[in-house]
Structure 1
Amino acid sequence: MNDQTSVSHDATLTLHAGAGPREVGLPASSPPVMATSFFTHPDAVGFSANDLNEAAPHFYTRWSNPTLALLETRLAALEGGEAALSFTSGMAAISALFLDRLSSGDHLVLSNVCYAGVAELAHDILPKHGIAVTAVDASNLEAVAAAMRSNTKLVHVETPANPILRLSDIAAIAKITHAG
């Protein structure tokens, strides 16, 4: 694909991915943005996340939301991915990642320059759950390699690191993590 074709393809995905097929002769329109907390009758789903399954309709916005589902579908299409997840904040995304991927006995290698909330989660909360954390200058590949342990399950790097804009070589760090 040339650059112009790629831009056109991405623009089409951005506008139409997840919208379903159009009927010939009907006007093109985008799905509505749903500005509400509830999407169906209260009896359609029990009021507990434990009642949800794959076939459950969108019910409560914190569990599922048609507007966010469409955003996730379009992001996945743009990135060529199987699926995508959206979160209300970066901190929510990072917390979900850490809490899903790390368990007691695991080790996290963390850039020593990162968002304050991430540092607080890593240094103050994760150790209470038996997760070891090593902070490292992620721009120094030797330091990253030296921080790796047999129980390292995750390496978290922010680049450029705010506020000093330190850069880390993500591809080189990935090679280090996969070699261990």
Structure 2
Amino acid sequence: MTHPDITGVILAGGLGRRMGGVDKGLQLLAGKPLIRHVVERLAPQVGTLLINANRSLPDYAALGYPVVADTIPDFAGPLAGLHAGLAAADTPWVLTAPCDSPHLPLDLAERLLAGAMAQGSELAIARSEGRLHPVFCLCRSGLRGGLEAFLHGGGRRVMQWCEENGVAIVDFDDQPTAFRNFNTLEDLQA
């Protein structure tokens, strides 16, 4: 189900340290870049799709979606990508997903939105098999100012920010492999 009131943001703005410094989203899995897998699963769920990247901008732009870079300097992590998405979005909700999780749930947006509404929260993240996945985050656009203050104050921990904002936790135990990510070149080769 497509949610026109949600902007999806694929997080591809990191340094890929655990992957030897290569641009993680552009690494191949089954013959296509990791980010292409994520685009194919996330785009049908949201009204608008953006890519957050801080390098390889022409490569990401070639996918056909707007590319937004962090405005918080020094590769400040996934929250900087969420912040960039919130700044660029014109919808009431923003949903983030990392570029290295090619099997993300096809009902991610729907279930996170339902969870946020049911729990009366402006923020929802995924949990599977007891493990939290805070970079799979649905966030009200109105939280942008607070996130900016958190980042400018040196905050970087995603879960800390989520907990400070009354996060709703949404279970995806029925999809235990959906949040598997690829952090190393060895992961991809396996």
Fold agreement, TM-score > 0.5 = no
Instruction: Return the structure number with greater strand share.
Output: 2
Higher relative CO (CA 8 A, sep ≥ 6), structure 1 or 2?
2
- Over alpha carbons, which structure has the higher Rg? 1
- TM normalised by structure 2 equals 0.27
Q: TM-score, normalised by structure 1?
A: 0.28
